[in-house]
Amino acid sequence: MTYCLGVLLAEGLVLASDSRSNAGVDQIASVRKLNLMPPATDRVIAIQSAGNLATSQAVVTSLHEAFGSGDGARDLRLAKTMFEVAGIVGARLREVVAADEKFVEPYGDPNASFLVSGQILGEAPRLFQIYSAGNSIEATVRSPFLQIGETKYGKPILDRVLTASTPLNETARLVLLSFDATMRSNLSVGLPIDLLIYRGDSFSTANLVTVEDGDPYWNTLRRTYSQGLTALVSSLPPPPPAWGA
């Protein structure tokens, strides 16, 4: 399983992906699911992936190799907007699945899905989810975050607190807490977490960090939050006496 989360904010983007890949009980590996296209001065493009690893790697690797090639159908260096980028990723996904599915289906699901985000000069940062069907939806101010993979455990804290105007650094806390909630409940989502805090108009991905087991900030955040949540629940008003508690 996988958990990938992307948040579109007034200040930029916060992206995070776990690294657990498991194909049955005897194969558990650590895999990077947050991929960046090669550096370019006028664009930052990130692709987060979930689903069949062979499919998602074929899509991402072929786009990485085509970057700067001049091949109009695949070269994300030539895309004029992030919407065009999302369309190219979806088209590659359809091609890979069409080529592989009849061979893969006897063994499992060949499908994959993606979060595609970043910024192209002249646009604000944008964030898309590419469905297995190859079509896509875009995050907006009203729906500022998108998730793929094991999405449910980590959603309530985002629903309660996150808005498009939440600052980058507070969003980073929420994103990590959303991952912590998921990892406590589902062992197939695991550390390390790749985290990119992208400030709009910076066109820099220098901030990409990997949160490993034992990371001091990760440990402090989780402990402080759990203690604070326990204290918060204790401080809430008790039920009416007639309810019998």
C-beta of 136 vs 166, nearer to its own copies? 166
Run of H or E residues at 145: strand 145-149
Nearer to its own copies, 60 or 211 (CB): 211
Point out which span in 50-58, 115-123, 138-146, 164-172 binds its own copies (CB under 8 A).
164-172
Nearer to its own copies by Cβ, of 26 and 245: the residue is 245
Distance CA 221, CA 162 (A): 17
Cα gap 11→134, rounded to integer Å: 28
Secondary element (H or E) of residue 195: strand 193-199
Enter the DSSP assignment of 242: G
Stretch that binds its own copies, among 38-46, 65-73, 137-145, 196-204 (CB under 8 A): 196-204
Q: Is 214 in the site for its own copies (CB under 8 A)?
A: no
Whole-number Å distance between alpha carbons of 39 and 234? 49
- Find residue 193's DSSP bridge partners: 211
188 by DSSP, 3-state: which? coil
With binding defined as CB under 8 A, does residue 108 bind its own copies? no
Nearest to 47 by CA among 120, 95, 146, 117: 117
Would you say 54 and 101 are in contact if contact means Cβ atoms under 8 Å apart? Answer: no
**138-157: contacts with its own copies (CB under 8 A):** 152-157
Counting every residue written for the chain, the total comes to: 245
- 65 vs 170 by CB, closer to its own copies: 170
Task: Please report whether residue 197 would count as binding its own copies according to CB under 8 A.
Answer: yes
Residue 207 Cβ vs its own copies, minimum distance, rounded to whole Å: 3
- Cβ nearer to its own copies, comparing 25 with 236: 236
- The residues binding its own copies (CB under 8 A) are 152-157, 159-161, 167-174, 177, 181, 184-185, 195, 197-199, 206-207, 209, 217, 220-221, 224-226, 228-230, 232-240, 242-245
